[in-house]
């Protein structure tokens, strides 16, 4: 197969040489079109002059006439070439073209006997010669790694893939309109940070030569966004790229996109309402309905359920937030959960078990509430139970999509929480962000904060099984020589 592909490339290069010998530049410059193909077909009128440009996707020759399918980013149209219109030399030039080439065509519009909108071509311009043939078959599990690795080819031949990324763009645009319409201010915060904070994740480390300091790609923008609340901005949001040096799976990519929203004088309940309105509005605007399907399971966005994490812990492990660390470990071991290490902290224990407790995928979005204090170092405790936090995690289709809470704005308690979080953690980057504590000491208004995983939300709304299906260029293992 590899030798055959080389032969096909050799043949195409020979055609490129033929084009050059004719004095024609095969990688054209500006080409003036009258409209894109979709606009032309939507308002199609026979007998008008049209000029469009795109990629050849099919070629059919019948004696002294040929039909090409020409495709741009909006659609596809049939082009009809006749020797008595183009002349013998002009028609012979078509022999130098291949599927995959970009061309510009100008001619008159008409419909065939079957009603197919068509351009009968009077002028043809080569805009880019394709030297590699497009794959005849690109679908199927055996090609999935190649599709991710060569996304540009995937987009050419798979319209359904293209539609996913068009939907992703519309989703992000809607989010901006939604928040802008509620007077939120879009901001940008540092992607390189001296202290990686705002989430529990392993960061990527780099070094700044001029300052001679180590920096970390951010794992979350949270602490910087809350500094802006201290500074006097009441409503802020950021659609941000985050980086975590952790595993890759159908739900995880080392580089991912988050929406983070902070609103002064709001709380967890306010963020819950905002989330419902945002996600439901998104489904209506982009998908056109609130009854959606994800991987064979129906999701009804007209009803949002609430489940208590504390109740789940009690039901599944017999654990309560008032138990000691030793009691937690004993109960977990009785259920077959392995706990390693003698110096493990209470926080580490509850985070381990927290990974085991997830609500069952139902037919509605699920807010998981009543989450243990140890799992939420940046969240306020519930007024009626200081061992639980005023926080929710949102699950849809069995995946965690969002996280929100009433923000902790007490600098003394925040410092204590930070100290407890890093206690016993020997990683070099696990230090207290004293500047953030100092910012809180100037006073931060009570606020609600929300984080939504854009990639996972797009997965749900486009019914995509893997996060790599909604990221244009996902991280992949290096390709070996034999695979190239």
Contact 194, 213 (CB under 8 A): yes
- Dist. CA 379–CA 377, nearest whole Å: 6
Confirm whether 147 is domain-assigned: no
Question: Do 163 and 270 belong to one domain?
Answer: yes
Q: What is the DSSP string of 328-386?
A: HHHHHHHTT-----SS--HHHHHHHHHTT------SS-EEEE-EEGGG-TTBPEETTEE
pLDDT of residue 285: 95
Contact 138, 157 (CB under 8 A): yes
Average pLDDT over residues 349-357: 68
Confirm whether 466 is domain-assigned: yes
Question: Do 298 and 350 belong to one domain?
Answer: yes
> Total domain count for the chain?
2
Question: Do 115 and 178 belong to one domain?
Answer: no
Domain of residue 189, CATH code: 3.30.930.10
Boundary of a domain, candidates 128, 143, 175: 128
pLDDT of residue 3: 45
pLDDT per residue over 140-183, tens digit each?
434 678 888 899 999 998 899 999 999 999 999 999 999 999 99
Identify which of 439, 475, 438, 469 has the alpha carbon closest to the alpha carbon of residue 455.
469
Question: Do 117 and 212 belong to one domain?
Answer: no
Question: Do 464 and 322 belong to one domain?
Answer: yes
Q: Which of 152-161, 245-254, 348-357 has the lowest mean pLDDT?
A: 348-357
pLDDT of residue 352: 72
Question: Do 111 and 206 belong to one domain?
Answer: no
- Which residue do the tokens 């929100």 mark? 404
Question: Do 457 and 406 belong to one domain?
Answer: yes
- Dist. CA 361–CA 253, nearest whole Å: 22
Question: Do 180 and 281 belong to one domain?
Answer: yes
Confirm whether 142 is domain-assigned: no
Q: Given pLDDT bands bounded at 50, 70 and 90, which one contains residue 425? A: low
Average pLDDT over residues 450-468: 96
Contact 111, 46 (CB under 8 A): yes
Q: Given pLDDT bands bounded at 50, 70 and 90, which one contains residue 334? A: confident
Q: What does each C-alpha distance from 403 to 126, 430, 451 come to in angstroms? A: 52, 22, 5
- Which residue do the tokens 């963020």 mark? 271
- Dist. CA 199–CA 469, nearest whole Å: 25
Confirm whether 135 is domain-assigned: no
Confirm whether 134 is domain-assigned: no
Query: For all residues of the chain together, what is the average pLDDT?
Result: 90
DSSP 407: B
- Dist. CA 90–CA 108, nearest whole Å: 17
Q: Which of 7-16, 288-297, 336-345, 395-404 has the lowest mean pLDDT?
A: 336-345
Question: Do 164 and 116 belong to one domain?
Answer: no
Question: Do 117 and 167 belong to one domain?
Answer: no
CA angle 111, 116, 120 (to 5 degrees): 50
Question: Do 306 and 169 belong to one domain?
Answer: yes
- Selected residue with higher pLDDT from 323 and 402: 402
| Residue 77, domain extent | 2-128
Three-state DSSP state, 231: helix
Confirm whether 273 is domain-assigned: yes
Q: Which of 72-81, 202-211, 339-348 has the lowest mean pLDDT?
A: 339-348
Domain of residue 53, CATH code: 2.40.50.140
pLDDT of residue 1: 42
Confirm whether 472 is domain-assigned: yes
Neighbouring residues of 147: CB distance < 8 A, sequence distance ≥ 6: 138, 153, 154, 158, 161
Boundary of a domain, candidates 113, 128, 143: 128
Residue 210 has pLDDT above 60, yes or no: yes
Boundary of a domain, candidates 94, 112, 128: 128
- Selected residue with higher pLDDT from 349 and 251: 251
- Dist. CA 404–CA 382, nearest whole Å: 14
Residue 482: burial class (beta carbons within 10 Å; 0-12, 13-18, 19+): exposed
Percent of the chain with pLDDT over 90: 72
pLDDT of residue 426: 59
Question: Do 102 and 168 belong to one domain?
Answer: no
Confirm whether 144 is domain-assigned: no
């Amino acid at each position: 197969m590899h030798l055959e592909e080389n032969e096909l490339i050799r043949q195409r290069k020979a055609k490129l040489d033929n084009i050059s010998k004719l004095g024609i530049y095969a990688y054209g410059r500006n080409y003036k079109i009258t409209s894109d193909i979709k606009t032309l077909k939507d308002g199609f009128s026979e007998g008008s002059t049209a000029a469009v440009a795109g990629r050849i996707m099919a070629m059919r020759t019948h004696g002294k006439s040929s039909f090409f399918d020409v495709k741009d980013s909006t659609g596809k149209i049939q082009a009809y070439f006749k020797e008595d219109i183009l002349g013998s030399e002009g028609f012979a030039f078509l022999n130098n073209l291949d599927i995959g080439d970009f061309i510009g065509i100008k001619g008159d519009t008409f419909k065939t006997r079957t009603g197919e909108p068509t351009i009968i071509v009077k002028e043809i311009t080569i805009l880019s010669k394709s030297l590699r043939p497009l794959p005849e078959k690109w679908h199927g599990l055996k090609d999935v790694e190649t599709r991710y690795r060569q996304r540009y080819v995937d987009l050419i031949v798979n319209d359904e893939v293209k539609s996913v990324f068009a939907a992703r763009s519309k989703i992000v645009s809607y989010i901006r309109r939604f928040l802008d319409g509620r007077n939120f201010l879009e901001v940008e915060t540092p992607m390189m940070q001296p202290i990686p904070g705002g989430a529990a994740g392993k960061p990527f480390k780099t070094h700044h030569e001029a300052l001679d300091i180590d920096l970390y790609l951010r794992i979350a923008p949270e602490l910087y966004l809350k500094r802006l609340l201290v500074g006097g901005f009441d409503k802020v949001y950021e659609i941000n790229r985050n980086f975590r040096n952790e595993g890759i799976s159908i739900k995880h990519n080392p580089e991912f996109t988050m929406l983070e929203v902070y609103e002064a004088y709001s709380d967890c309940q306010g963020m819950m309402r905002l989330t419902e309105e945002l996600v439901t509005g998104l489904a209506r605007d982009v998908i056109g309905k609130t009854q959606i399907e994800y991987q064979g399971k129906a999701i009804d966005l007209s009803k949002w359920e609430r489940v208590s994490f504390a109740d789940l812990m009690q039901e599944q492990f017999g654990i309560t937030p008032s138990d000691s660390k030793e009691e937690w470990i004993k109960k977990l071991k009785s259920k077959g959960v392995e706990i390693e290490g003698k110096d493990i902290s209470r926080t580490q224990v509850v985070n381990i078990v927290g990974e085991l407790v997830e609500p069952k995928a139902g037919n509605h979005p699920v807010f998981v509430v009543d989450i243990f204090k140890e799992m939420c170092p940046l969240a306020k405790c519930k007024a009626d139970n200081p061992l639980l936090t005023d926080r929710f995690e949102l699950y849809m289709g069995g995946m965690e999509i969002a996280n929100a809470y009433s923000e902790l704005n007490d600098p003394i308690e925040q410092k204590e929480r930070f100290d407890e979080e890093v206690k016993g953690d020997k990683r070099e980057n696990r230090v207290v962000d004293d500047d953030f504590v100092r910012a809180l000491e100037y006073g931060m208004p009570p606020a609600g904060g929300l984080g939504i995983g854009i990639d996972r939300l797009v997965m749900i709304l486009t019914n995509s099984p893997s996060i790599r299906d909604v990221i244009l260029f996902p991280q992949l293992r290096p390709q070996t020589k034999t695979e190239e």
